[in-house]
Amino acid sequence: MISLTNIKILIEKELKHYINTPPSYVLASVFLLLCGYFFSQPLFLINQSNLNSITDIAPLILTFFAPALSMKLIAEERKTQTIEIIMTLPFSEEEIIISKYISASLIMLSTISLMFIYAITLYSLSSPDSGHIIGSYLAIFLCSLSFLSIGIFSSTLSSSQINAFIIGFAISFFFYLAGKITFFVPTNLQSLVNYIGVDSHISNISRGVVDLKDLIYFLSIIFIFNYLSIYKLKLMRFG
């Protein structure tokens, strides 16, 4: 039985660690600076009053940012052997992974929320489509949640944060790249490859069209990789 009290305790621990760790702020700053740069270019050069430039580049940036944010969550505890101590306490593998995932997601959400300045800028300059604005932020957040789950799973595979980052980046980049190579695969596989890639799903949602298949896509990635993380912890406990 999963205990909400235990999850709350673990979330508080993880959030304190994030808040008291300077690299977290560095990562968030770099992410926002990159997104800000790509947002401003079409806005001032071609007067493009939408967030297409952000939804185009954000998934690529997230292939770096999400693994970097989550690479330490298990890997660091494996290296210092604190994960073994945690496992002797009355915390289940599910509680450990859920708490780490929620903590990282809250940090990610707080970072993405700072991007609302882009929407405010657009509304001050023109009258953008609100469905597009809301959909764009939702698409970016869902993509970040998916890549975070991949990052946490990667962190369970190694005691090295660098190795965890490389694995997390490679898997995330696979999902990013899949949507870019549709025209290079056999015709009978194009629809499958297109569905595997994040591109089409982000494109649909950012238009303000929230289709169930797109939600299922992101939720499936989140569920599968969090499940794999839990399974890996169980192997570590009983293996």
- Do the Cβ atoms of 108 and 24 come closer than 8 Å? no
Q: What is the mean pLDDT of residues 172-179?
A: 94
Q: Where are the beta strands (DSSP E) in the chain?
A: none
Helix (H, G, I), strand (E, B) or coil at 114: coil
Judged by DSSP in three states, 51 sits in coil
Please say whether the beta carbons of 132 and 46 come within 8 A. no
Q: Which residue has the tokens 């007067």?
A: 47
Element (H, E) at 87: helix 82-88
The pLDDT, as a whole number, for residue 221 is: 98
84-106 pLDDT per residue, tens: 777 778 889 999 999 999 999 99
Closest by Cα among 107, 158, 134 to 209: 134
Q: Which residues contact 160 (CB under 8 A, 6 or more apart)?
A: 75, 79
What was the pLDDT predicted at 135? Answer: 95
The rounded distance, in Å, linking the Cα atoms of 105 and 145 is 6
- Higher-confidence residue of 190 and 63: namely 63
List of long-range contacts for 192-198, beta carbons under 8 Å, 24+ apart: 198/59, 198/143, 198/146
Q: What is the mean pLDDT of residues 65-83?
A: 89
DSSP state letter for 92: -
**5-51, pLDDT tens digit by residue?**
999 999 999 999 899 888 889 999 999 999 988 888 776 665 667 88
* d(C-alpha 22, C-alpha 69), whole Å: 12
Q: What is the DSSP string of 124-161?
A: HHS---HHHHHHHHHHHHHHHHHHHHHHHHHHHS-S-H
Site of tokens 């657009």: 122
Tell which wins on pLDDT, 82 or 180.
Answer: 180
Residue % of the chain over a pLDDT of 70: 97
Using 50, 70 and 90 to split pLDDT, how confident is the model at 236?
A: confident
pLDDT tens digits, residue range 188-222?
888 999 999 999 999 999 998 889 999 999 999 99
Domain hosting 191: range is 4-238
Instruction: For the chain, give the mean pLDDT.
Output: 91
pTM of the model: 0.93
- How many domains are contained in the chain? 1
For position 2, what pLDDT does the model report? 87
Classify 110 in phi/psi space as left (phi over 0), alpha (psi -120 to 50) or beta: alpha
How many residues can be counted in the chain? 239
Report CA torsion sign: 225, 231, 237, 239. negative
